[in-house]
Amino acid sequence: MMLDRTSNRWRLDEGMIEALEIGSGILGTGGGGNPYVGKLRARQALREGYTMEIMPLTDLPDDAKVVSLGGIGAPLVSHERIKEGREGLRCVRALEERLGIKVDAIACEEIGGQNSMEPLITAAMAGLPVVDCDGMGRAFPEMQMTTYSIYGHRSTPSVMCDPHGNVVIFDHAISEVWHERMARACVVAQGGASTLASAPMSGEFVKQFAIPDSYTKAISLGNAVLGARKANRDPVEAVCANEGGKVVFRGKITDLKRQLAGGFVRGEAIIQGFEAYEGDEAAVHIQNEFLIFSRNGTVEVIVPDLIVILDADSGAAITTEMLRYGQRVAVLAIPCHPLLRSPEALEVVGPKGFGFKDVVFKPMSTEQEA
Amino acid sequence: MMLDRTSNRWRLDEGMIEALEIGSGILGTGGGGNPYVGKLRARQALREGYTMEIMPLTDLPDDAKVVSLGGIGAPLVSHERIKEGREGLRCVRALEERLGIKVDAIACEEIGGQNSMEPLITAAMAGLPVVDCDGMGRAFPEMQMTTYSIYGHRSTPSVMCDPHGNVVIFDHAISEVWHERMARACVVAQGGASTLASAPMSGEFVKQFAIPDSYTKAISLGNAVLGARKANRDPVEAVCANEGGKVVFRGKITDLKRQLAGGFVRGEAIIQGFEAYEGDEAAVHIQNEFLIFSRNGTVEVIVPDLIVILDADSGAAITTEMLRYGQRVAVLAIPCHPLLRSPEALEVVGPKGFGFKDVVFKPMSTEQEA
């Protein structure tokens, strides 16, 4: 592709990384990898002199070869074992060698959590721009759950690299779910946290099916929280205002089941209400991300709509691995991007895609109640 | 390489496949995949008009590109779910494409069990000869347990294909054990029985470090059993005479623990003695293959020496998945090939390599006792 060096690209600085940590943490809905660890790694790369450039989606030439990438595994592991650092770069190079091509730009697989930082770090090392988009508009636990896959991209051949130096190519998978299944088994063998780059997409495809402006929006969300904190306004309200979301519960975590199973963190958090929710009990189902929110046994917010758990005071997002007994939290619901609500998307990222057979997706009510 | 079409190669017919079934079953020491299923598949290929040619190891040019392959997974699965049939061919083609080479000949990964047939079927479809050798001289459960790996061959990039059509390339592994670990996790995700072809070896390397004449020997062993049956001689004795082995126990299986765990069949068989062994109890430890034989609590035969369980009457080899309560069996010990007894080999295929920390390998006594 022809990349216009006088274009609308913009560079990230440390302040933007700080805001992205907060914004991507909220959009992570509990998963996507710990954004604090991601921030430290991205900041380190900036301090080493690497440049991180974001390219507007609309600037992408139709024939550009765009590779999306991200961390794969259990967030719990990526939080406790820092990455070697060049996994993503090794993925891109191995993909280029396997296919005999040059990659033009990096896309984000999921904007939620540490996976917002992964493309930035890799693209910086490879001297490539990151396209301002992602495949989820949030975080999801499985690879077939991107708008890229949902709307027809076949993500193999893909390359998975671990911190030890192992390189695996998923050369052909008979379906996106088979790709996920094999990669998941392999990442567990590799220790539980690797990086995977998928087969290149055309710029034309990305412009049509990616969730647009993901970096711009995540950074603006982070800045809204920072601004509220500075002005002594409620950061929880700032998140709601910025995202068109609403508070659905406030309370204290009183029970927590959480286990590392099959490469995922799975479990449930029970929250006893306080303030307007006194006497109520809420439950949040977890598979890496928060999937279903129910109050007093009634399901109220359903994946792919976003369920976000924030520290009630600071407005800081709490990821699944950071949940603790006794935390005082606000639970928010944020409507997902329309690309995730189509019938074909709901087959994959609706409750059915997570094995909840009796739950039918209903878009969250946007009426403010509390 | 230059292949001499007037050379010492020989072709397999159905009778040889019949003998190979018996011989490879015995050398499988319980594993390597059910040889009966393998025979049916090989015979079918012959009946479809494919040619199976064996090439003496000594005829191999130094610069030949030799690819060894075999089934990977739990024998139990490959016994219950027949292969699609062209897994091996897909492996060879994907390896050729990945490396930009033409493969000259196929080698056998393990001569034991169904894995003796895998190279024949694949080579027939690819129009290539099979070299008269293998990497184990028996069967072992893990991939790093070949003389190829032990004596320095790096088996990546390798290709693994499943019956569904999925293709995975293990492009680089930091060690042979890491290769095994990742492939094992992936084969479980693929359903438990796939085919894997390793990175090409040079003819020079194969001539030095492969176990020689494996097909010739396995077929001759099978013919010895067939001959004994025909002449109403004891087939068990015929096996001992042919292989320099001896009977170490005769009895009835009275207890059997067997489970499919982590892509392996693991367990233990308890045998109550009869005839000369009346009053004795023997135990055989299993990880796909029979690894340790002990009598009355004393270890007597240790991997890599071969522990073989035969039907006491017919002399037919009993694989781990065919073990049943009440079977009347003879247990044989057969000395392994000297290439498996070097210090570097014993690190990998001795008891330590299987997690038996308190057992030190001692070559089996060749004294006849019963």
Closest partner CB to B178 (pick from A164, A181, A184): A164
Task: Tell whether the model's pLDDT for residue A314 goes beyond 90.
Answer: no
Q: CA A287, CA A349: separation in Å to the nearest integer?
A: 12
* Average pLDDT score over residue span A186-210: 96
State the smallest CA–CA distance between residue A135 and chain B in angstroms.
24
Confidence of residue A368 (pLDDT cuts 50, 70, 90): low
Contact check, Cβ <8 Å, A189/B182: yes
Contact check, Cβ <8 Å, B178/A170: no
Between the alpha carbon of residue A156 and those of residues A113, A160, B267, the distances in Å are 24, 11, 38
Considering only residues 76 to 135 of chain A, which have any Cβ-Cβ distance to chain B shorter than 8 Å?
Answer: 94, 98
DSSP state, residue B317: B
Per-residue pLDDT tens digits for B97-132: 999 999 999 999 999 999 999 999 999 999 999 999
Domain B10-214: CATH superfamily is CV3147-like domain (3.40.1610.10)
* Average pLDDT score over residue span B45-70: 97
> Up-side HSE of residue B267: CA atoms within 13 Å toward CB?
21
Q: CA A322, CA A51: separation in Å to the nearest integer?
A: 31
Closest partner CB to A178 (pick from B166, B171, B184): B166
pLDDT at B120: 98
Per-residue pLDDT tens digits for A243-300: 999 999 999 999 999 887 766 778 999 999 999 999 999 999 998 899 999 999 999 9
Per-residue pLDDT tens digits for A101-137: 999 999 999 999 999 999 999 999 999 999 999 999 9
> Which fold, A234-354?
CV3147-like (2.40.390)
pLDDT at A303: 97
The count of other CB atoms within 10 Å of the CB of residue B228 is 19
Pairing of strands B167-172, A167-172: antiparallel
Residue A188: its chain B contacts at CB < 8 A? 185
Among the CATH numbers 2.60.40.10, 2.40.390.10, 1.20.1250.20, 3.30.230.10, which is that of B232-354?
Answer: 2.40.390.10
As annotated, the residues of chain B forming the CATH 3.40.1610.10 domain(s) are 10-214
pLDDT at A82: 79
CA dihedral B213, B215, B216, B222 (to 10 degrees): 140
- Which site among B169, B175, B181 would you substitute to test the A interface, given the most A Cβ atoms closer than 10 Å to its Cβ? B169
State the smallest CA–CA distance between residue A76 and chain B in angstroms.
20
**Which residue shows structure tokens 């390189």?**
A167
Residue B90: its chain A contacts at CB < 8 A? none
More confident residue, A201 or B354: A201
Here the tokens at position B264 are: 């392996």
Confidence of residue A34 (pLDDT cuts 50, 70, 90): confident
As annotated, the residues of chain B forming the CATH 2.40.390.10 domain(s) are 232-354
H/E segment holding residue B334:
strand B328-334
Question: Which residue in chain B is spatially nearest to A189 when comparing CA positions?
Answer: B182
Q: Are B185 and B264 in contact (CB under 8 A)?
A: no
* Average pLDDT score over residue span A146-161: 98
Nearest partner of B12 among B218, B196, B317, judged by Cα = B218
As annotated, the residues of chain A forming the CATH 2.40.390.10 domain(s) are 234-354
Asked if A178 has any chain B CB less than 8 Å from its own CB, the reply is: yes
State the smallest CA–CA distance between residue B1 and chain A in angstroms.
26
The dihedral sign for the CA sequence A52, A58, A64, A68 = positive
The count of other CB atoms within 10 Å of the CB of residue A61 is 17
A to B CB pairs, distance under 8 Å: 71
Question: Which residue in chain A is spatially nearest to B187 when comparing CA positions?
Answer: A182
pLDDT at B217: 97
Q: CA A278, CA A200: separation in Å to the nearest integer?
A: 51
| Prediction ipTM score | 0.86
State the smallest CA–CA distance between residue A61 and chain B in angstroms.
29
Percent of chain B beyond pLDDT 70? Answer: 96
